[in-house]
Amino acid sequence: MNKFSGIGASGGIAIGNAAIVKEAVVSYEKKVIDNPEQEIKRLEAAFERFKEKTEKMALSIEEKVGEKEAEILRGHIAIAFDPALSDEINKLIKSGKCAEEAVDSVCEQFIAMFASIPDEMMRQRATDISDVKTRLLQILTDNEPTDISGLAPDTILVADDLTPSMTAGIDKENVLGILTKTGGKTSHSAILARALEIPAVLSAPDAVDALTDGVVVIVDGEKGEVIIDPDEQTVEKYKKLREEYIQAKKELSKFIGRKTQTADGESVMLFGNIGNPEEAKTVKSFDGEGVGLFRTEFLFMENSSAPTEEEQFEAYKAAVEALDGGSVIIRTLDVGGDKEIPYLGLEKEENPFLGYRAVRFCLNRDDIYNTQLRALLRASAYGDIKIMIPLVTCVDELLAVKEKLFTLKSELDSEGIPYNKDIEVGVMIETPAACVSADILAKEADFFSIGTNDLTQYTMAVDRGNAKVAYLYSEYNIAVLRSIKRIIECAKKEGIVCGMCGEAAADPNLIPLLISFGLDEFSVSATSILKTRKIISLWSKDDADELANKALSLTRESEISALLKANARK
């Protein structure tokens, strides 16, 4: 029996037999082409077949999972037909390369570019292009693609990476769990596994390497654990845990339609975080009361040029309409740091997290920012949209944005375009500077939302993506806890709403402290909404205060963490 760990990307426990699935290795011979026109025709036919086959796979996913997930595959068609890619391929063919080599080398260039960006969404783009490349080469070389629709019952699918096209072939009756070498929580394979409700552990290379076909394996998608060749006792233990998980899930569905309130009846708001308008529907399906963070940079990352005012207007309008009366807090472009957008032409910096990014960039780029603010104002005529500014460090930034809005509003007035004249403008409190000056900011802002992901990074001076210093990256540090408490106090003093949209808002260990500090709004990922509602319902203000006082009397992260874990209610 051997135990390994990876990233728990889709909850639940699966016990089954490993089936190692390998991507067909497509090999081809490099040839010099003397008739490029004919070669381009061959390539175009391959593209057409790719489109046809992908559309078929998308339909199969649409039936098995849903429309949103099918969009991932339809996105592959968009990638393949993106002129940025096809123009380069054609150029290479015209220079005498065969279609296979041209596809291979252009795709590899794009893969290398996206894979070098330390952002999961961008790395996902690299996986997508790699998937497109493999399938195009399979077509060009007449190679059969991996077919996983015929796997035996009780299978744990083991692969280097689970590509969306592979996922299309999964038969949920037979595939109980998924285990891969690469991929993160927001990779497409993770999204699809969650949508199919198949437990999945990703990024567990040692476990994948240690497995052979047919070996019994346990996948714990909650904890991110993999057990290979378990003894009988362990199998029994995990069967019990599996039952408990299924029960707990049923239990959580009871929280749909309930108010979000503490054990002693204090109501708070429970919102969801989204990256595109489609996800607003998911938030609604988990009974989220609104959206506490719409990360608009994903609209910018999905395309090879900035989305137009019209495109953004449609996206923001669709999000607020999906919430059916609920508020939608839309964060203006938070570019830079770990979120690169190649076409914006940002230069490489020594310290990207401390550099020209987010509101600093936007205030210098009227072309980008005015377009976004106008789209936001226009969409505000269709529902309760609020504007949120990221990475604020001083009140000047907030005032500058408000000034811009003032000018844009009069522009819209003169054009006779409707918008919400009282649209709220809030700030994300995610830097120590914003925390220390929260009393000043609260006088000018309509609301706060605490971004604990960055607040922890900047407060502890620890890069949130650097594994070597990850031991310092914890919200349980007294400096971070005191900051959170102070920010909420400053908001209360000025009578403005204080929310939290960082990951900490869904942390069961931290929720009692947030209740005690008086947080008004919790914004969490869609799948955490019901669990968060449940945890909030388990704490009275008095109990939460008692725990918070104890926690704040301690000094070491390890002590605070142990106290919070020991007292966690589930």
Kindly list the catalytic residues: 188, 501
| CB nearer ligand PEP, residue 125 or residue 409 | 125
- Helix, strand and coil content of the chain, in percent to the nearest 5, comes to 55, 15, 30
Show Cβ contacts of residue 385 under 8 Å, excluding neighbours closer than 6 positions. 316, 320, 327, 328, 330, 376, 379, 420, 423
Contact criterion met (CB below 8 Å) for 264 and 540: yes
Could you tell me the smallest distance in angstroms from the CB atom of residue 431 to ligand PEP? 10
Q: Which of the choices Mg ion, ligand PEP, none does residue 483 contact, using the CB cut-off of 5 to 8 A by kind? A: none
Q: 220-243 burial by CB neighbour count: b if 16+ within 10 A, else e?
A: bbeebbbbbebeeebeeebeebbe
- Only one of the segments 103-111, 193-201, 242-250, 445-453 lies at the binding site for Mg ion (rule: CB under 5 A); that segment is 445-453
| CB nearer ligand PEP, residue 323 or residue 506 | 506
| CB nearer Mg ion, residue 151 or residue 358 | 358
Q: Which of the choices Mg ion, ligand PEP, none does residue 104 contact, using the CB cut-off of 5 to 8 A by kind? A: none
Neighbour tally for 354: CB within 10 Å: 12
Q: Which of the choices Mg ion, ligand PEP, none does residue 281 contact, using the CB cut-off of 5 to 8 A by kind? A: none
Q: Which of the choices ligand PEP, Mg ion, none does residue 261 contact, using the CB cut-off of 5 to 8 A by kind? A: none
Show Cβ contacts of residue 509 under 8 Å, excluding neighbours closer than 6 positions. 476, 561, 564, 565, 568
Could you tell me the smallest distance in angstroms from the CB atom of residue 500 to Mg ion? 12
Alpha helix ranges (H) inside 13-98: 36-64, 67-80, 83-94
Q: Is 454 in the site for Mg ion (CB under 5 A)?
A: yes
Show Cβ contacts of residue 302 under 8 Å, excluding neighbours closer than 6 positions. 276
| CB nearer Mg ion, residue 313 or residue 369 | 369
Q: Is 451 in the site for Mg ion (CB under 5 A)?
A: yes
Q: Which residue has the tokens 């991507």?
A: 23
Could you tell me the smallest distance in angstroms from the CB atom of residue 301 to ligand PEP? 12
| CB nearer ligand PEP, residue 230 or residue 451 | 451
Show Cβ contacts of residue 298 under 8 Å, excluding neighbours closer than 6 positions. 121, 275, 276
| CB nearer ligand PEP, residue 101 or residue 334 | 334
d(CA 313, CA 463): 34
- Only one of the segments 167-175, 292-300, 344-352, 443-451 lies at the binding site for Mg ion (rule: CB under 5 A); that segment is 443-451
Q: Which of the choices ligand PEP, Mg ion, none does residue 289 contact, using the CB cut-off of 5 to 8 A by kind? A: none
Q: Is 426 in the site for Mg ion (CB under 5 A)?
A: no
Could you tell me the smallest distance in angstroms from the CB atom of residue 331 to Mg ion? 9
Q: Which of the choices Mg ion, ligand PEP, none does residue 277 contact, using the CB cut-off of 5 to 8 A by kind? A: none
Could you tell me which of 530, 515, 521 has the C-alpha nearest to residue 256?
Answer: 530
- Only one of the segments 63-71, 245-253, 370-378, 422-430 lies at the binding site for Mg ion (rule: CB under 5 A); that segment is 422-430
| CB nearer ligand PEP, residue 75 or residue 292 | 292
d(CA 298, CA 75): 14
d(CA 198, CA 235): 18
- Only one of the segments 154-162, 208-216, 221-229, 451-459 lies at the binding site for Mg ion (rule: CB under 5 A); that segment is 451-459
Could you tell me the smallest distance in angstroms from the CB atom of residue 12 to ligand PEP? 26
d(CA 188, CA 198): 14
Q: Which of the choices Mg ion, ligand PEP, none does residue 270 contact, using the CB cut-off of 5 to 8 A by kind? A: none
Could you tell me the smallest distance in angstroms from the CB atom of residue 501 to ligand PEP? 5
Name the β-bridge partners of 425: 387
Query: At 369, is the secondary structure helix, strand, or coil?
Result: helix
Give 117-167 as a 3 state SS string: CCCHHHHHHHHHHHHHHHHHHHHHCCCCCCCCCCCCCCEEEEECCCCHHHH
Q: Which of the choices ligand PEP, Mg ion, none does residue 372 contact, using the CB cut-off of 5 to 8 A by kind? A: none
- In Å, how far from its chain's centre is CA 39? 40
| CB nearer Mg ion, residue 28 or residue 353 | 353
Show Cβ contacts of residue 522 under 8 Å, excluding neighbours closer than 6 positions. 260, 268, 269, 270, 271, 292, 499, 500, 505, 506, 511, 514, 532, 536
Could you tell me the smallest distance in angstroms from the CB atom of residue 372 to ligand PEP? 16
Q: Which of the choices Mg ion, ligand PEP, none does residue 295 contact, using the CB cut-off of 5 to 8 A by kind? A: ligand PEP
d(CA 234, CA 215): 15
Residue 64, token pair as written in the block? 């098995």
Could you tell me the smallest distance in angstroms from the CB atom of residue 288 to ligand PEP? 16
Could you tell me the smallest distance in angstroms from the CB atom of residue 451 to ligand PEP? 3
Residues that bind ligand PEP (CB under 6 A): 293, 295, 334, 430, 451-454, 501-502
| CB nearer Mg ion, residue 77 or residue 346 | 346
Kindly list the residues in this chain that would bind Mg ion in the complex (CB under 5 A).
430, 451, 454
